[in-house]
Chains A and B, each alone.
Chain A
Amino acid sequence: MSVSEKTVTRPANETPDQEELDKVIIRFVGDSGDGMQLAGTRFTDASAAFGNDLATFPSFPAEIRAPAGTVGGVSSFQVQIADFDILTPGDEPDVLVAMNPAGLISNLKDVRPNGTIVVNSEAFIERNLHRAGYEKNPLEDGSLDSYRIISAPMETLTKEAVKESGVTGREVLRSKNFFALGLMAWLFNRPMDPTTEWLEKKFSKRPDVLNANLAALKAGWNFGLTTDAAPTTYTVKPAKLEPGTYTNVTGNTAMAWGAIAAGQAAKLPVFYGTYPITPASDILHELSRHKNFGVKTFQAEDEIGGIGVAVGAAFTGHLSFTGTSGPGLALKSETISLALMTELPLIIINVQRGGPSTGLPTKPEQADLLFAIFGRHGEAPMPVLAAQSPSDAFDITIEAARIALKYMTPVIVLSDNSIATGSEPWNLPDVSTLPDISKPYQMGPNSGDEYLPYLRDPQTFARSWAIPGTPGLEHRIGGLEKQEVTGNVSYDPGNHQLMIDTRAWKIANIANDIPPVEIDGDPKAKLLVLGWGSTYGVIKGAVRRVQKRGLPVATAHLRHLNPFPANLGEIVHSYEKVLIPEMNMGQLRHLIRAEYLVPAIGYNKVSAEPFKVREIENRILELIES
């Protein structure tokens, strides 16, 4: 298993040695019901506790339980752990843990040459082989000869291990994911305590299940040890990360915490109006657990109701959010326009998934960018931001709230399925240093003894925020065009042009209030790789590899998509070539070409899978050499 750039030679003796790796990529695959997400998450958390840097990529079918044993029902969890700062869950697994033939057949193509395959041998029976599409048993026909195979009869061994635990019937075999986890923990010398502690907490009320899982975990470890399942075991040392306190966080969780943090930074109660939709629902789940922060979560009757209640709460002075995914964003479009016309602060989270229509609900894609920027009737400009990684989802949510409040505007924040469900270590901020983003309510008249709802701040062009319950400031807002200053209904043509110009200027001016784009790499390079959103890690990884070859290349990543940072035009003009990798058909490229008249080159992948670092690296090399 030559997974390392620092592989040491194994001494020739019979006891398994520890070989030190700088990084390893492991993918757990099995039926949706096999518990592979759980096994992967536990392996990840143990590695996090050990101090590795890591990145994860869970992938699962949209069906809750697709037919057992079929390729359509395969659920997978990939994790890369390393002793240095990594940026992605990795391209090719070094180790594939396959709980059944369907998992093997659908994932084998990704495994690196000479990689390791761990299988539950008892799943490789006639019926399962047939369901997966195998004509012969791959464990017996020699087709896997170039891989190292660790084969364990996981069902028999799990059954034996859990005998004393008290679980019966179908619950017996449920523990086999912990057998697999135990085996992997042995192979990679993972600490057991984090998993044991997690199990004890999780199953404190089910001692039988707790004991079964603990027994299976231990049996997996012991199987590795006693059968010399591999000639060496491996270690991946803790990473030399920036000093600090870390946690492993998914994008959805970070976004929920970001909303709570934004409420504290703004000194406002948080309101989250939404409707369940994959893959955004976990934001609702997380926020609804934290009502002691004063958070109000409202699960509405539909997507439109979800944003409707959020607009009502924004009018009433809450820091208001709604969250959804593509189809839901389409339904919310009309209400976003109302928030824009009434100039209320509102944050719309869109966790992108594969589209169009229902599309691929559990797969990542970045194809809602143009929809976020332009998907409204009329001239309706509004800020659009995008998270670049799971932990950045926290910061970007606070930034969106800052802009929404300061400029009294709805703001769209884009995430995607890989950020939302993927995780990475996050150096926890000291929350006492969060910026003050508060926007005080209007408490009295703003023009003599009158209150004029559409009188604007001369710097930001934001209107004031007078909330119901404030004496003397009673006023009406609505979707009809507003007369400047008074906010009364106006059909005057000159006024409409003025208001269109004002709303456009208000948003365009935000470009001066966001950080400039930073260049990473050689500013004299001929090629700039420009990205946005979840491609951050793969682009940066690819650029690093090209730089290691001694070739000049630069990269920049956008978190603000509308307006663009003020220096972006200058930057894209200062490179001979601009390459834009995106998980869409070229949406940012379209914007860059239109805005700056540069012939940006696209690299587009819309295959329901994230880019591999190697793919982008190769594209960069082609462009440098051409």
Chain B
Amino acid sequence: MTTLNYKRADFQSDQEVKWCPGCGDYTILASVQAYMAEMGVAREDVVFVSGIGCSSRFPYYMNTYGMHSIHGRAPAIASGVVTANPDLSVWVVTGDGDALSIGGNHLIHALRRNVNLKILLFNNQIYGLTKGQYSPTSEVGKTTKSTPLGSIDHPFNPVSLALGADASFVARTIDMDRKHTMEILRRAHEHEGTALIEIYQNCNVFNDKAFLALTGKDERVHNQIRMEDGEPIIFGPEGEKAVVIESGVARIVDTASVDPSDIHVHDSREVNPSMAFALSRISSHPDGPTPIGIFRDINRPVYDQEMARQIEAVTEKRGPGDLQTLIGSQGTWTVE
């Protein structure tokens, strides 16, 4: 039995990390490795599965089991891994192009099924590995190599999308904030079922400072809307801004202008996803006040566990299958 007295270094593979210097992926890798050391799961029981893209090189750098698979398909492959063995801790690393463009179908169906996967969606709002085309989270008007006249594609809000797919756990964090990232990883691990974590990740080569409003030393205090369970949602240097939800629509108001009891009190455990969805609509782009934290964390049946349960129940009821009986089950006759 492995003793679980891990250090971060135990989760570092012997491969040289080859992201661009200054890439947000380094910070996320450090946070994940640090969290793995604390997670309390034996290293051999951890599997990282990725698709294609800069972020998807991640498994090579983790000293766990891993597969660097095909563009967009990681949620499907990882679903197979955890369905085959529900005792594993299975993590998907993906990007905005990988998860939301080519792999959109697998993502929404993994979320719908509630397979026990922890999906880390590195959102840098750009295609990095292919060197700078707009992505499905790039803002309208964005000038890139493939949109010299500005993008005319309306972007996805990944949190809204995940909630629309009835994801049981949806959160958002920021690459630079390692403490918050690790806290979200912990909550995702503790959650049973699919967890989607959108991580705002800076691509300093092709889309630098995309998240400046949330990470800039002066800006962040004005724009990060931290959601904490049981707490009214208030933000700004002096708490001068607040969030109210009326008729299913979340609005930012001056704290002083509303009755304190009207300020929305966050509850990620609320089964009805309407409030979480309203919060996700406050910002569809991180250039202003944007909610950070856990939007939703509810319990519902977990696919891989349900499959194991069905097999167990039917085996108990009918007994383990007998092949000779099976092949004779449609009626037989004997030739002497």
B79 at the interface (CB under 8 A from A): yes
Shortest Cβ gap from B304 to chain A (Å): 9
Q: How many residues of A contact B (CB 8 A)?
A: 77
Shortest Cβ gap from A299 to chain B (Å): 10
Which residues 484-540 of A sit at the B interface, judged by CB distance below 8 A? 488-489
Chain A residue numbers with a CB within 8 Å of B328 are 245, 247, 428
Which residues 74-99 of B sit at the A interface, judged by CB distance below 8 A? 76-85, 87-88
Judge whether B109 and A300 touch: CB under 8 Å: yes
Contact status of A304 and B73, CB under 8 A, knowing A246-B333, A291-B310, A317-B84? yes
Contact with A along B17-46 (1 / 0, CB 8 A): 000000000000000000000000011111
Chain A residue numbers with a CB within 8 Å of B334 are 244-246
A91 at the interface (CB under 8 A from B): no
**Distance, CA A473 to CA B84, complexed state (A):** 18
B330 at the interface (CB under 8 A from A): yes
Other A-B contacts than A292-B320, A293-B323, A476-B65, 16 sampled, CB-CB below 8 A, are A245-B334, A247-B330, A296-B84, A301-B105, A304-B76, A308-B69, A308-B73, A311-B69, A312-B84, A313-B81, A469-B85, A476-B62, A478-B66, A479-B68, A488-B15, A489-B15
Shortest Cβ gap from A310 to chain B (Å): 6
Can you list 8 A-B pairs, Cβ within 8 angstroms, ordered by A?
Answer: A246-B333, A247-B331, A298-B79, A301-B106, A301-B109, A309-B76, A313-B83, A474-B64
**Distance, CA A305 to CA B104, complexed state (A):** 11
User: Interface stretch among B153-161, B231-239, B311-319?
Assistant: B311-319
Judge whether A246 and B314 touch: CB under 8 Å: no
- Beta-carbon nearest neighbor of A432 in chain B: B324
- Beta-carbon nearest neighbor of A470 in chain B: B44
A261 at the interface (CB under 8 A from B): yes
Shortest Cβ gap from B169 to chain A (Å): 20
Contact status of A312 and B78, CB under 8 A, knowing A293-B320, A302-B105? yes
Which residues 305-328 of A sit at the B interface, judged by CB distance below 8 A? 305, 308-318, 320
Contact with B along A466-478 (1 / 0, CB 8 A): 0011111111111
B171 at the interface (CB under 8 A from A): no
Judge whether A468 and B323 touch: CB under 8 Å: no
Judge whether B68 and A478 touch: CB under 8 Å: yes
Shortest Cβ gap from A4 to chain B (Å): 22
Which residues 40-70 of B sit at the A interface, judged by CB distance below 8 A? 42-49, 52, 59-60, 62-70
Shortest Cβ gap from B54 to chain A (Å): 14
Chain A residue numbers with a CB within 8 Å of B274 are none
Shortest Cβ gap from B125 to chain A (Å): 25
- Beta-carbon nearest neighbor of B49 in chain A: A312
Chain B residue numbers with a CB within 8 Å of A301 are 76, 105-106, 108-109
Shortest Cβ gap from A265 to chain B (Å): 10
A200 at the interface (CB under 8 A from B): no
A623 at the interface (CB under 8 A from B): no
**Distance, CA A430 to CA B330, complexed state (A):** 16
Shortest Cβ gap from A435 to chain B (Å): 14
- Beta-carbon nearest neighbor of B50 in chain A: A478
Q: In the A-B complex, list the 5 residue pairs whose CB atoms are closest, starting with the nearest.
A: A312-B80, A478-B68, A308-B76, A309-B80, A293-B321
**Distance, CA A51 to CA B43, complexed state (A):** 59
Chain A residue numbers with a CB within 8 Å of B330 are 247-249, 253
A273 at the interface (CB under 8 A from B): yes
Which residues 278-336 of B sit at the A interface, judged by CB distance below 8 A? 307, 310-311, 314-315, 317-321, 323-324, 326-328, 330-336
**Distance, CA A479 to CA B52, complexed state (A):** 9
Chain A residue numbers with a CB within 8 Å of B80 are 271, 273, 298, 308-316, 320
Judge whether A474 and B43 touch: CB under 8 Å: yes
Contact with B along A454-483 (1 / 0, CB 8 A): 000000000000001111111111111000
B13 at the interface (CB under 8 A from A): yes
B2 at the interface (CB under 8 A from A): yes
Judge whether B70 and A292 touch: CB under 8 Å: no
Chain B residue numbers with a CB within 8 Å of A48 are 331, 333
Contact with B along A415-457 (1 / 0, CB 8 A): 0000000000001111110000000000000000000000000
Residue from the list B77, B315, B327 in contact with A257, Cβ < 8 A: B327
Judge whether B84 and A480 touch: CB under 8 Å: no
Judge whether A291 and B44 touch: CB under 8 Å: no
Judge whether B326 and A474 touch: CB under 8 Å: no
**Distance, CA A295 to CA B310, complexed state (A):** 11
Chain A residue numbers with a CB within 8 Å of B335 are 51, 238-244, 246, 427
- Beta-carbon nearest neighbor of A52 in chain B: B333
Judge whether B333 and A260 touch: CB under 8 Å: no
Shortest Cβ gap from B130 to chain A (Å): 16
Chain B residue numbers with a CB within 8 Å of A290 are 321, 326
Which residues 259-275 of A sit at the B interface, judged by CB distance below 8 A? 260-261, 264, 269, 271, 273
Which residues 94-150 of B sit at the A interface, judged by CB distance below 8 A? 105-106, 108-109
- Beta-carbon nearest neighbor of B77 in chain A: A312
